Amino acid sequence: SYVLTQPPSVSVAPGQTASITCGGNNIGSKSLHWYQQKPGQAPVLVVYDDSDRPSGIPDRFSGTNSGDTATLIIRRVEAGDEADYYCQVWDSSRDHHVFGPGTKVTVL
C-alpha cells in the first residue's frame, strides 16, 4: 500500500516560514492535498491539487510537489497557525485515500 511520511513536529518563530514535508514514492506524480486541524476542531482544507488554495485560505499558505517530496509552506507564521497538518493523496492503484501521519506545528 502507498505510504506517506511526515515529520512529527516542526517549530517556527512568529513571522518566519514553516516548511512541512510529505514524503512518498514518486509523490510528484500524484495530486497532493493538505489539511489543518486545530485542537478540538475538524480538519480544514488549506491546499489542494498540490498548490491550489480554497477560497478563504490566506496566500501565506502554498504548496509544492515534485519527485518524492511534497511541501506545505506557511509564510509569515502567526500564532493562529499552530495546529496539526496532514497530507493526503488518492492512490488510484488501490482506489484508496491515504493520509500522512500528521505534523504538529508549534509557534514559538
Partner 1 sequence: QVQVVESGGGLVKPGGSLRLSCTASGFAFGDYYMSWIRQAPGKGLEWVASISSSGNILYDADSLRGRFTVSRDNAKNSVYLQMSSLRAEDTAVYYCARTPSIAAKTFWFDPWGQGTLVTVSS
The residues of the shown chain that bind partner 1, judged by CB under 8 A, are 30-31, 33, 35, 37, 42-45, 48-49, 54, 86, 88-90, 92, 95-102
Q: Which residue from 64, 87, 59 is spatially nearest to 75, judged by alpha carbons?
A: 59
Pick between residue 16 and residue 69 the one whose CB is nearest to partner 1. Answer: 69
**Shortest spacing between CB 30 and partner 1, in angstroms:** 7
**Shortest spacing between CB 66 and partner 1, in angstroms:** 16
d(CA 81, CA 79): 5
- What φ, ψ does residue 59 adopt, rounded to 5°? -75, 5
